[in-house]
Each structure stands twice: as C-alpha cells, then as structure tokens.
Structure 1
Amino acid sequence: MNDTPGWATPGSAPSDGPEDRRQDDQRPSDDQKDASGPKWSAEQPPPAQWSAPSGGTDTGAGSGQAPPPPQAPGQGWGTPPPGGPGGGQGWGGGQGWGGGYGGYGGWQGKPAAAKPGVIPLRPLGVGEILDGAVSTMRTHWRTVLGISLAVAVLTEILVVLLQGIVLKDAANSEALQNPDATPGEVFDAMGGLIVGTGAVQIVTLLGTIIATALLTTVTSRAVLGKSVTLGEAWRDARPQILRLLGLTLLLPLIAVVIVFVGAVPGILLAIFGSADAGAALGILGGIVGFVIAIWLMIRFSLASPALMLEKQTVGKAMSRSVKLVRGSWWRVFGIQILASLIAGVVASIILVPFTVIAGAVSGDGMSTFLDSGGDAGWAFLIISGIGAVVGSTITFPITAGVTVLLYIDQRIRREALDLELARAAGLQDYADTPGTTPGS
C-alpha cells in the first residue's frame, strides 16, 4: 500500500515514505550492543568479530574470550541480508530486530495501528470498512438503532397514510388494464400513478436524508471511540440538513439530465426522420448517458460526508468528493456496490416474509388496495410497512456507515487524516510511534 497516491505527508517529498522512517527506528537497545563499544556504529564489524548472543553470557570483546568462528549467512547476528534492514527479513534471517512492524521476531506485515474506535487508524480494507459499519451499529446500538427506528417509523407512517388516504383514488389502475379505456382515462391513470409514486419517494428520500445526516455524526464519533446521544447528533447535523437535502436532490437531477441529453439525438431523429433509426440511436445514446451518469455519481459519492463533517457548501462538497475519489474510482465503485447489494439482500430477506403474510391476510394483496383502497388494502399496507421499518432500521446504518468510513479511508490515504484522528482521540505521541507514518 506504500504506492498509494497521496500516501506521503502533504508537502513532503515522494521518497519520504514509511520505509525511510522504519529504518530510523531500527536501533537496538543498550543491552544488545557490543560490550566493547560505547555506541552503535553504522559500519558493521566483520562476521568473524561479531558473535551471537546466547543465554545472557557476555561473549563480546570485553569478556576476554576469543570470538567464535563466523556464523553462516542467515544465522545469528551475522551480516545483514541483502537489502539491509528494509529488505523485509530483518537481522539474521528474520530472527533479530523487527523495526516498527513487530518488535522482536522480524517483519510481521502490517503495523499494529492504534484503534481508539471501530476502525484502526490506517488505510482500510473492504472487510474493515464493512466491519466498521457493523461495529458502529453494535457498539452504539442504542443511538444508531434509535435513530434508524425513529426515522423508519415516521417515514412508513407517512407512506401508509399517503397510500391509504390521500393517494387511494390516484392509485386506481383499472384504466391501464382496460383495453376499451379512452386515451384520457389512460393518461389520468398514469398521471395518478406517477404522482403517487413520486410522493412516496419524496417522503422516503426525506427520511433517508435525516437518517444519513444523524448517522454520519454517530459514525464519525465512533471512529474516535466516543459515543454520542441522539440530541447531540441532531444539534451537530441540523445546520447542514438543508444543504444535504439540496445535494441529495441535485445528484439524481444531474443523472437524469445526462441520460436525457444522451437520448435527445435519437428522439429528434425519430420525430423528423426514421422512427426505427431514431429509436436505436435513442437507446444507444441513453446507454452512453447512463454510463456517464454512473461515473459522475461515483465521483460525487463522498460529497455527503464531506458536506456534513467538513461543514462545506454543496458545491465545495462535490469538489472535495471528486478530489478524494480521483485515482480510486473503481475501488470506491466496488465498495459502494457491495454495500448496496448487502443492504438490498438484507432488506429483501426481511421484507419478503412480511409481504407474503400481508398478501395472505389481505386476500388479494396489493391489487385490492389499488382497486378499492378497502380494509384488505389497509392490512396489506400496515403489515408490509412493518417489514419495511425493520429492514430500514438495519440497512440505514450499513449504507450510511460504509459511506462515512470510505470517506475517512480516502482522507487517511491522501491527507494523513489518521494523525488528526489520533490527536482528536487523545493518543499521545501517535506520530512518533514506530511503524506509524502519515496515512499508515
């Protein structure tokens, strides 16, 4: 991971990396120096004049005993292996000084980074990001599940009331199933469905925004090993709620506009020229626009935590996200897709049994609600709404936590945020710890 872009301390030379610091830490203690020399010398003595320590007996020059024969390469305290201390084997074939990576016992791989909270303060793997999101929910379950449950319950109550009272007439789809319906009736039915679906999506979106804002604060504190109450999370997130709403509405709008622009040439060709050629060109342009929209959405995917944690404006938060994702697009894309798949699978596993029960209780299920909005429709809505509440309570912390931890991980890799986090967590002399380097 040492070749990760932005690994070195901001403003330092590219060669100022972890290996250079680790070599400075590879000095033995006083009781392991040559008894005849007052200091450790950079020039190693010949193998024939350097003996292996054994059982605490002084075999150095000061003991008056003749030195033993030279050690075979790779045994005892002989000459350093090729590459010196940074060669990856330590002194004596992995049996001597371990530097900042493992103390005695040679190089041990990754340093044991400080972990004041749910993640270690170093660049994270995919599993560590997912585990950090789950650990936040498990460690601070009262606050996390309290936020998710409250938002999910309020959201689903509004959705059920909208579908059962306000939108029950607008949701009537009989005209769409009737081949003898007039174009006006079909248009009215489609308009009602669009209005109903749009209203439900807006309510769900508002709930997601509030949950994301509050859970971002909780996750950022969990990284430092600090808990936060619901009131504290709300006070910290409230000033940015409107900006987060604007950001959340702006990003889908950008995606829709891009896809539409891609399909415009085909639409124009279909109107003024060949319908078949226009349809083909429109589909091709829409696909190209869709790919471009996904590329942009991933570049902007870290804008939400940047806006909440850095108190940025919408434009600056989007710019920060682009900077953090640059050079790591595929990694960010993969982690976000994986988190979405996991959340979707979990939500489906929870929701499917409730939907089956709701269909059995209500008789005709959703079709009864669409046709009449009667008692059976209410039973279906309430039971399926309970399943949606349970699913959202579990998936909200996963999706929000993964996004926040991915943002923190990218800042650790590029901006040495681990040093700032260590100071905020109260870790003393974190930067001077062997094996600790900016971004490690």
Structure 2
Amino acid sequence: MNDTPGRNSPGPSPSDEQPAVVPEEPTPADQTPRTGEDARGSQWAREQPPGGQWSTPSAVPPQTRRTTRERARANSGHQQPGGGGGWGPQAAGGGWGNWTPPVRAPQPGVIPLRPLAVGEIIDGAIRTVRVQWRTALGISLALAVGTQTVATVVTGLWFRDVPDLQSLADSETLTPRELLDAIGSSLGGVGVAWAVGLIGSIIATAMLTVMVSRAILGRTSTIGEAWRSARPQLAGMFGLLVLLPLMICAVFAVGLGVGLLVAAAGAEAAGSALALLGGLGSLVAGAWLWIRYSLAVPALMLEKQGVIASMRRSAKLVRGAWWRVFGVQLLAVALTFVVSMIAQLPVGVVETLVAGGSGTSDSTGWPTLIVSGIGAVISSTLAFPVTAAVTALLYTDQRIRRESLDLELVRAAGSGE
C-alpha cells in the first residue's frame, strides 16, 4: 500500500479482492468532494506507482501530447516552440538550443586566415590596392612610366625608316629580300620593347608580391621596404619570367611548325589544316603551362627558392585545382581588361583628335606614339597591382588548403614577425 493518491473518486474504501482499476463514479451534485484527511482513506488504489514520480491531476495544467515527428526534431537539436515565448530550451551560454555561433577566422589583414572563396580572393586583391594605394600605384606607375618611355622612344626611332609591312604587302614589285629585311627590322624593334617591358614587369611583380604578403598580416609597406625585400630575388625572377614565355613559344613553334613545313613542301591545303590543328593544340598546351606555373612567382619571392624549385612548387600547389586556379586567373585578366578599357576611353578620343588634326594616320608618328604610350601607362598602372595581388592570394589560399598555412600566419600576426 503506497501513500500516493490515485485517480479514483472519493468513495468507499476498496477491499483487497477488488480489481486494481476501479471505474470513477460521478460525485453527486449536492455533495462536494472530500479533501484532506477525510478523503485520504478512500482514495487509495491497490496498485500505485512509486512515490514521488507522479503528481496529482490538479498540480499542473494538461499538456498537449507531442507527435512522433516533433519528438524526433526535438531530439535532433531543432528548435521547438516552448514556454515563455521563446524557441526551444536555452543553453547556459545564452544560445538557443544546442546551436552555437560559428567561430570566425582571424583576419589581421585583407583576407580571413582560412580557405578562401573565389570572390574573397578578388575582393582581397582590390582591398589590398585600396588600402595600400600609395605603395601599389606608386610602384606600378613608376615602372610603367619608365618602361613605356623607353619603348616609345625605341619604337619612334627604330621604325621611322622601316617600311610599313602593309604597304609592302600591297606592293606589286615586292622582292623576298625586301620582305625579309622589313620583317627582321620589325622583330628587332618589337624585341627591344618587349625586353624593356619584361624588366619592368619583373620588378613590379616582385615588389608587389612582397607588399601583398605583408598586407595579409595587416602590415603596410613602403616602396623602399618592398624594394629591399625584392632585390635579392630579382635574378631568379628574371630567369623565371624569361623561361616561362620561352616554354610557351616553343610549344607554339612545335604545333605550327609541322603544318608550315608541309605547306612549304607544296601541300598547302594539308599544311593549312595541320597548322590550324597545331595552333589549337598549342593554345591548349600553352594555357595548361601558364596555369601550372602561375604560382611560381610568389613561391620564388616568399619561399626564397630557385627558378626550377619554384616551378616544381607551383606545379605541386596547382595539382588537383587547375580549373579553379584557371578560373580565378581568367577572372582577374577580364577585370583588369575592363578597367583598362574604361580608363583608356579618354586617351582613345585624344588619339583620334591628334591623328585627325595632323592629317595623317601614321602609327609611328610622335604624337600618336606619345598618346598611345600614355594609354599604356594607365593600363599598366591599374593592371600590375591587381594581377600580382590575385596571384599572391591564390598562392596563399592553396597553401592554407594543403599545408595549414593559416596557423603559421596567425602565429606570425600575433608575434609581429
């Protein structure tokens, strides 16, 4: 016999032979239920649950029975309507249910120190240029002005006495000797201009890579600091940025050479078809090489590696992520192209006015060359920082994904190294 009240209505005390469950009998309308000690002796059932586990029906209000789906959602951590106007049981720390807000990655500089999305890489590059615009635009502007000035002077002096190739092609008395001399002179001038531009590109890329690496840690760089850090690696940068174009040129030479030889042998139709197919194959192979070794520059600058070692390092980081790196690099090229075209619109208008005012459309005239050089300076000034920043951030992102570089960067940012 337990001392916990059951659910039977007040009435005569049941005997030991009565069943465990006795139907409730309605209380007469002219009587009131007995409470306290008077009712205690007539409320005991034969079988009762253990004491303390059940309460009387009047102790709590009736509650709605939850469905199986609601119980499953509650067990899996979903929020369910609860008392007090809230949702689900509140955690001790102030959160709702079992959910806790995700831990944000530290961001001492222009990017969060975690694997980056494509948009975050582009945004980080633009933010780097915006935050350190004096250093970024100062480096690119100085080198663009220097290299483009040399290229403009060389073009103006070199091509002044060189006959126009288009006019030679329209000439009916053109001899092979004249054609070869014109092509050789043109290639010589283009080669000098390309070499000067390559030197400027090497220096700009090296200095801007150093600047971006410090911007990741939230530190600013001056032009002098970037130069002192990049100067020991300039020889390696020169070798790298000469070797990569030569590799791509060799691929095109092989792809087009077979078709040209066949055409020279007399089978012009077959040679043209082979040259076309070889050109398409060379384009694919050249793009593959460009992306495979696109991270060699930051590897050489930031890890202080040699030319071949940096190329191997780039191939290792790009392996398995070729399409992602290709997409980001292509997006950066498209972005800089659009910005350069917008910036060159006023220059194009001025060039048209200059050419119309002089009464000649000579592309080697000094007015046309000067205006074209100004447009090239504007394009290079805007393109150099963005492309260098995107490449450096891609390199950092790949190392974070494969080598947990973010842990080392957090430590370096905290220690001030």
Is the pair's TM-score, using the shorter chain for normalization, greater than 0.5?
A: yes
Residues 1:122 and 2:114 are matched in the alignment: yes
> Which whole-Å CA distance do the structure 1 matches of 2:114 and 2:257 have between them?
47
Which residue of structure 2 lines up, in the alignment, with residue 204 of structure 1? 197
Does 2:370 correspond to 1:382? yes
Tell me how far apart the structure 1 counterparts of residues 79 and 358 of structure 2 sit (CA, whole Å): 69
Partner of 2:380: 392
Report the equivalent of 2:390.
402
Q: Name 2:128's counterpart in structure 1.
A: 136
Q: Counterpart of 1:162?
A: 154
| CA gap 1:387/1:272 in 2 versus in 1, 3 angstroms | closer
Structure 1 residue aligned with 2:311 = 318
Q: Establish whether residue 294 from structure 1 lines up as the match of residue 287 from structure 2.
A: yes
Give the direction of change, closer, same or farther, for the CA distance of 1:426–1:297 in structure 2 (3 Å limit): same
Deviation of 1:75 after TM superposition, in Å, equals 12
Answer with 1 or 2: which has the greater Rg.
2
1:221-370 equivalent positions in 2, closer than 5 A: 221-271=214-264, 274-363=267-356, 368-370=361-363
Amino acid at match of 1:158: V
Alpha carbons of 1:112 and 1:184: their partners in 2 closer, same or farther (altered >3 Å)?
Answer: same
User: In the alignment, which residue of structure 2 is the partner of 1:421?
Assistant: 409
Which piece of structure 1 moves more, 260-269 or 312-321? 260-269
Shift of residue 268 of structure 1? 4.5
Deviation of the 1:192 alpha carbon: 1.9
Q: Do 2:168 and 2:174's aligned partners in 1 also have CA atoms closer than 8 Å?
A: yes
**Matched residue type, 2:142:** A
Q: Distance in 2 between matches of 1:105 and 1:396?
A: 50
302 and 106 in structure 1: CA distance in 2 versus 1, 3 angstrom threshold? farther
CA distance 1:109–1:390, shift in 2 (3 Å): farther
Q: Output the CA distance in 2 between the equivalents of 1:169 and 1:108.
A: 76
User: Between Structure 1 and Structure 2, how many residues are aligned?
Assistant: 353
Q: What is the CA–CA distance in structure 2 between the aligned matches of 1:233 and 1:75, rounded to whole Å?
A: 63
Mapped to 1, the partners of 2:140 and 2:197 lie a distance apart of 13
* Contact 2:88–2:96 (Cα < 8 Å) also in 1: no
Q: Under a length normalisation based on structure 2, what TM-score does the superposition of the two structures give?
A: 0.75
Secondary structure at the residue paired with 1:246? helix
Query: Which residue identity does 2:235 align to in structure 1?
Result: L
Counterpart contact for 1:266–1:278, Cα < 8 Å? yes
Partners of 1:387 and 1:95 lie apart in 2 by 65
How many Å separate the matches in 2 of 1:256 and 1:219? 30
CA gap of 1:391–1:286, structure 2 versus 1, over 3 A, is: closer
Cα 1:136–1:263 change in 2 (3 A) is same
In structure 2, how many angstroms separate the alpha carbons of the residues matched to 1:357 and 1:364?
10
SS of 1:112's equivalent in the other structure is: coil
SS of the equivalent of 1:116 reads: coil
Offset of 1:260 from its aligned partner? 2.2
For 1:401 and 1:147, how far apart are their aligned partners in 2? 13
2:107 alignment partner, SS class: coil
* TM-score between both structures, scaled by the size of structure 1: 0.71
**CA-CA distance at 1:181 after TM superposition:** 2.5
Q: Select the structure with the greater relative contact order (CA < 8 A; seq sep ≥ 6).
A: 1
Note the aligned Cα RMSD (angstroms): 3.5
- CA apart distance, 1:343: 0.7
CA 1:139–1:199: 2 relative to 1, 3 Å: same
Report the CA distance shift for 1:181/1:248 in structure 2 as closer, same or farther (over 3 A): same
Q: Indicate if the aligned counterparts of 1:91 and 1:106 stay in contact, CA closer than 8 A.
A: no
**In the TM superposition, what is the alpha-carbon distance from 1:168 to its structure 2 partner?**
2.4
Deviations 1:99-121 (A, max 9, x none): 9xx96676588642111000011
Deviations, residues 165-191 of structure 1 (Å, cap 9, x unaligned): 244223644434423322222222222
Change beyond 3 A, Cα 1:104–1:194: farther
8 Å CA contact 2:203, 2:234 repeated in 1: yes
Distance 1:217 1:414 in 2: 22
Supply the AA of the counterpart residue of 1:237: A
Give the AA of the match of 1:326.
R
Alpha carbons 1:98, 1:104 under 8 Å: kept: no
Q: Give the aligned partner of residue 54 of structure 1.
A: none
Where in structure 1 are there 5+ consecutive unaligned residues?
A: 1-48, 50-64, 429-440
SS at the partner of 2:129?
helix
Q: 2:186 aligns with which of 193, 197, 202?
A: 193
